Chain A
C-alpha cells in the first residue's frame, strides 16, 4: 500500500476487501460501517506501521496476526481465513486458486500479477458476501459512478438495485432516475422505475406521476421496452390532455412509473418509410360469394354479361324469325341470294341463283 487512506472515507465494500486482504475476520453481515472502520484502523493501520520495520519483524507480526486471526475467526468465517492473502501466494498457487474459482488465468507476469490478485480477492469476497446488500463488484460500481454518486446520496438502496440491473438498460434510464429523485417523488416510484426497462421514448409525459403506488413492482417489459425488432404490443399514443381515469380505462394493467412517464408505443404508421400500404391483400376472398367473383371476372372483360345475354336473345329472335318465314319465297330467294354472294367468294353449298338473285346481289 503506497499511501494510507482514512478508513472512514472508504466504502464498506472497500473496507471489507481490505480486511480480507489483511486476513482479518469480518464482523457479522449487518454490521454498521463504524465496526468495519474500527477493525480496519485496528488491524490495517497496525500493519502499515509495521511496513517500515524490517522484513523479519513484519513476517512474524503477520504470522502472529494470521494465527490469531485464524483462531479468532474460525467460528465466524472459516472459509476466508483459510485462504491466505493473494499477494503472498506464488504464481503457481495464485493460478491454482483462480482455477478453483473457475478462472483460467493467463501468464502471471509482472504486469498481470496485480490484476489476478485483485480478481482472486474479488472472488473471495463474492463467495462470502453474496447475500449482503453491497455485494456488487467494484467494476460495476465504477461503471456508473457518476450517476451513482448522485443517487447514493439520496437513495442508497435503490442505487444498488440499479447496479443489479441488466447492462442493457440505457443510460437515459439513469438520467431519468436522477431527475426523478430530484423531483422529490416517493421512494416507491423510484423502485418501480428501476425495475422497469424504459425505452428510447422515455421522456414524454409526466402526467401520471401520482398514479397508484400500491401496484406491484413487477416489470412490464411489453409496455415499456421498445426494441426495433419487436412488434409493439400496444395501440395508440395517448394525448396529453387525457386524465388519469382514461389511462386506467384504456390500459388497466399499466404499472405506474416513478417519473410518471408512461410509454405506449404507437402503432406503425402505414405508408411511412419501409411500411408501404398493401391494398391488394386487404380483402379476404372467403367473404365474397362465388357468384360475385364470377360477375367480377366477367365484368373485367369487355362486355358485360347482361349485354351478352340480350345479344344472345336478339340473335335467337332473328333466327327464329327467319325460320318462321322460310315458307315465303321472297325470304327463300333472299337466302339464296346470300348464298350466291358467298359463292362468289368461293362458298359453293347452295343452289345457283336465278336472275332474281343476281339482281339482289347487285342491289347489295
Chain B
C-alpha cells in the first residue's frame, strides 16, 4: 500500500485543468491563500514554477518554503505530487 494521501492520488490521477492551488497535495487553506496572494491562483501556475525549476523537487521545496512558510513535509508532498503529475501527463 502506497503512502500517498487521497488528495495526492486525486490530483495525480487526472489532468489538473483549472483546479485551484488547494487541490495540490500538501497545500491547505493557509498555504493556498499565501500562494494566491503571490499570484499563484491556480495549480497550473504552481506547475509553471515547478517546471521553471526544471522539475527539481529540492529546489521547488526550497522555493515553496520560502514563499509560503510551508514546512518540509508539506513542501515535499507538493513537490512529489507535481513530479508524479508531470511523469504521468507531461
Which residues of A come within 8 Å of B, CB atoms? 104, 106-107, 109, 111-112, 114-115, 118-119, 139, 142-143
- A114 and B66 in contact, given A106-B54, A139-B58, A142-B72 (Cβ under 8 angstroms): yes
Which residue of A has the minimal Cβ distance to B59? A115
The one of B53, B71, B72 that contacts A115, using a Cβ cutoff of 8 Å: B53
Q: Does A118 lie within 8 Å of B62, measured CB to CB?
A: yes
Complex partner residue of B52 from A112, A114, A118, CB under 8 angstroms: A112
- Taking CB atoms and an 8 Å cut-off, the chain B residues in 36-76 that contact chain A are 49, 52-54, 56, 58-59, 62-63, 65-66, 71-72
- Number of chain B interface residues as a range: 10 to 19
**What residue in chain B is nearest A104 (Cβ atoms)?**
B54
Give the docked Cα–Cα distance between A41 and B52 (Å). Answer: 37
The docked-state distance in angstroms from the alpha carbon of A297 to that of B20 is: 75
With CB as the reference atom, state the residue of chain A lying closest to B60: A115
**B53, chain A: closest CB distance, angstroms:** 6
Whether the Cβ atoms of B58 and A115 lie closer than 8 Å is no
- Interface majority SS (helix, strand, loop, mixed), chain A: helix
Which residue on A lies nearest to B73, using beta carbons?
A: A143
Question: How many Å from the CB of A143 to the closest CB on chain B?
Answer: 5
Contacts A104-B54, A107-B52, A142-B65 aside, 7 further interface pairs with beta carbons under 8 A come to A111-B49, A111-B52, A111-B63, A112-B52, A115-B53, A115-B63, A142-B71
Contact B54 A115 (CB under 8 A): no
27 A-B pairs within 8 Å (CB atoms) are namely A104-B54, A106-B52, A106-B53, A106-B54, A106-B56, A107-B52, A109-B52, A111-B49, A111-B52, A111-B63, A112-B52, A112-B53, A112-B63, A114-B66, A115-B53, A115-B59, A115-B62, A115-B63, A115-B66, A118-B62, A119-B59, A139-B58, A139-B62, A142-B65, A142-B71, A142-B72, A143-B72
- State the CA gap A6–B62 with chains docked (Å): 24
- Measured CB to CB, the closest approach of chain B to A191, in angstroms, equals 25
A104 — which chain B residues lie within 8 A by C-beta? 54
Cα distance, A142 to B62, chains bound together (Å): 10
Chain A residues near B66 (CB-CB < 8 A): 114-115
A125 to B45, CA, bound (A): 33
Nearest chain-B residue to A118 (Cβ)? Answer: B62
CB distance from B17 to the nearest CB of A (A): 23
A-chain residues with CB within 8 Å of residue B65 when the two chains form the complex:
142
- Report the minimum CB–CB distance from A337 to chain B (whole Å): 86
Given the complex of chains A and B, what is the CA–CA distance between A143 and B54 in angstroms? Answer: 22
> Shortest distance in angstroms between A140's beta carbon and chain B's nearest beta carbon?
10
Q: In the complex, what residue of chain B is closest to A122 when comparing beta carbons? A: B62
Interfacial chain B residues near A139, Cβ < 8 Å: 58, 62
Q: Which residues of A contact B52 (CB under 8 A)?
A: 106-107, 109, 111-112
For B72, the closest partner residue in chain A by CB is: A143
Q: Which residue of B lies closest to A140 (CB)?
A: B72
The distance from the CB of A144 to the nearest CB of chain B, in whole angstroms, is 9
| In the complex, the 4 A-B pairs of residues with the closest C-beta atoms, listed nearest first | A106-B54, A143-B72, A115-B63, A112-B52
- B59 neighbours in A (Cβ, 8 Å): 115, 119
CB contacts (< 8 Å) of A106 on chain B: these are 52-54, 56
**B-chain residues with CB within 8 Å of residue A114 when the two chains form the complex:** 66
Q: What residues of chain A lie closer than 8 Å to B54, measured between beta carbons?
A: 104, 106
A112-B62 Cα distance, complex, nearest whole Å:
10
- Chain A residues within an 8 Å CB radius of B56: 106
- Expressed in whole angstroms, the minimum distance between the Cβ of A12 and any Cβ of chain B is 21
Q: B68 CB to closest chain A CB, in angstroms? A: 13
Q: Provide the bound-state CA to CA distance between A139 and B54, in Å.
A: 19
